[in-house]
């Protein structure tokens, strides 16, 4: 058994380039141009139409396919249809995770983000619903609260580590199977409705007005990118791996999506979404243009290179829960730790400083 190693080992050349920027404050030009309080309409238009809207369109399409797969599974309960349903769920989960750095504006209005993916699911609430004697409706699920709806709740009923797929299928064929199916379809339908509400807000013609000026765009994008990367490193990697545990104990149940085995896939999806907003949305190019200096050029180039390499990274092989539980490590996992940490520090200590961003309230701190 090999213990996990801390992030500081084995940094790639690109990671060291970022590290040089971080530890040498003089590398950043303190005379960088102050950001304009006006609104760069061309930049905002590209950011919304090229960076943000495609992610939400993909999410909406995935949710539609998930609802359809739920209906087909309940129409004909079988192992093949369960596999298709799980795949549709996974596609929707990853599409949602690609929007992790966009948790502002419409995503948090009326707690839509919680309704779409509240973790961890409230098992007792779900069990109470499944004990119903009548088929469940979207209204009943919505009334039960965020802990019984969304992607995490679907994972709870679609994946069970102590059961084979055949045993899980059988549970939908039993006397209570109709209730389970009604719950499955109600959650899927409600999820589709909430995602549609979010997508509609971002794809309407005046969506560019969510950003009132350049400073707000910079603060939101850099602040939420930092929070997303901090969430990856602290809650999705460091904490489950037990790297901060005084007793060196791992915590596999702290992994997100541990039932389905998507724990590492969602991290990659987070990075893919961040790359799309920052590169395709033109944000990094805009920073380079509006804060001209050698420090900016170097930091932007290094950050974009790290993003591109991270989305191509080979994920650790095997079931994440088992890997963490048994405290096995690998080159791939060490690289994932190092690179995501390098990106987090790059946002906080380079991009935020160079772009004069105000990071503001951190969602990871709680209330």
Reported as a pLDDT band with limits 50, 70 and 90, residue 365 is low
Q: How far apart are CA 27 and CA 41, in angstroms?
A: 31
Q: Is the pLDDT of residue 5 over 70?
A: no
Of all residues in the chain, the percent with pLDDT exceeding 90 is: 81
Reported as a pLDDT band with limits 50, 70 and 90, residue 133 is confident
Reported as a pLDDT band with limits 50, 70 and 90, residue 20 is very low
| Every domain of the chain and the residues it spans | 13-39+213-365, 53-205
**79-95 residue pLDDT tens:** 999 999 999 999 999 99
DSSP-assigned beta bridge partners for residue 117: 150
- Between 10 and 64, where is the model more confident? 64
Q: Is the pLDDT of residue 29 over 90?
A: no
Decide if 255 contacts 263 (C-beta within 8 A). Answer: yes
Tell me the pTM.
Answer: 0.89
Lowest-confidence pick of 16-20, 162-166, 170-174, 266-270: 16-20
pLDDT of residue 6: 37
pLDDT of residue 263: 98
Q: Is the pLDDT of residue 156 over 60?
A: yes
pLDDT of residue 174: 75
Report, in angstroms and rounded to the nearest whole number, the Rg of the chain calculated over CA atoms.
Answer: 22
pLDDT of residue 353: 95
- If you average pLDDT over residues 306-325, what whole number do you get? 95
Reported as a pLDDT band with limits 50, 70 and 90, residue 364 is low
Domain 53-205 = CATH 1.20.1420.20: yes
Reported as a pLDDT band with limits 50, 70 and 90, residue 248 is confident
């Amino acid at each position: 058994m090999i213990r996990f190693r801390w992030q500081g080992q084995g940094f790639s050349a690109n990671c060291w380039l970022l590290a040089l920027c971080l530890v040498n404050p003089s590398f950043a030009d303190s005379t960088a141009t102050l950001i304009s309080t006006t609104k760069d309409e061309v930049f905002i238009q590209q950011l919304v139409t090229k960076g943000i809207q495609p992610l939400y369109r993909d999410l909406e399409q995935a949710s539609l396919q998930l609802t359809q797969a739920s209906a087909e599974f309940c129409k004909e309960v079988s192992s093949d249809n369960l596999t298709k349903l799980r795949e549709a769920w996974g596609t929707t989960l990853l599409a949602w995770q690609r929007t992790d750095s966009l948790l502002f504006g419409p995503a948090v209005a009326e707690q839509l983000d919680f309704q779409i993916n509240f973790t961890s699911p409230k098992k007792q609430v779900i069990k109470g619903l499944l004990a119903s004697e009548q088929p469940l409706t979207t209204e009943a699920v919505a009334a039960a609260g965020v802990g019984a709806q969304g992607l995490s709740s679907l994972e709870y009923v679609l994946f069970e580590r102590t059961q084979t797929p055949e045993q899980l299928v059988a549970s939908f064929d039993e006397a209570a199977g109709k209730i389970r199916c009604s719950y499955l379809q109600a959650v899927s339908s409600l999820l589709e409705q909430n995602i549609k509400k979010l997508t509609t807000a971002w794809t309407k013609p005046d969506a560019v007005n969510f950003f009132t000026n350049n400073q707000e765009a910079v603060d939101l994008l850099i602040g939420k990118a930092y929070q997303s990367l901090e969430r990856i490193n602290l809650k999705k990697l460091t904490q489950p791996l037990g790297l901060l545990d005084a007793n060196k104990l791992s915590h596999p149940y702290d992994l997100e999506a541990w039932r389905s085995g998507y724990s590492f896939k969602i991290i990659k999806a987070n990075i893919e979404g961040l790359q799309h907003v920052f590169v395709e949305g033109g944000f990094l190019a805009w920073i380079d243009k509006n804060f001209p200096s050698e420090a900016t050029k170097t930091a932007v180039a290094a950050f974009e290179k790290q993003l591109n390499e991270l989305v191509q990274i080979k994920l650790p092989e095997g079931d994440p829960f088992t890997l963490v539980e048994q405290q096995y490590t690998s080159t791939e996992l060490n690289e994932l730790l190092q690179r995501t940490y390098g990106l987090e520090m790059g946002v906080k200590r380079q991009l935020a400083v160079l772009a004069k961003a105000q990071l503001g309230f951190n969602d990871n701190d709680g209330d």
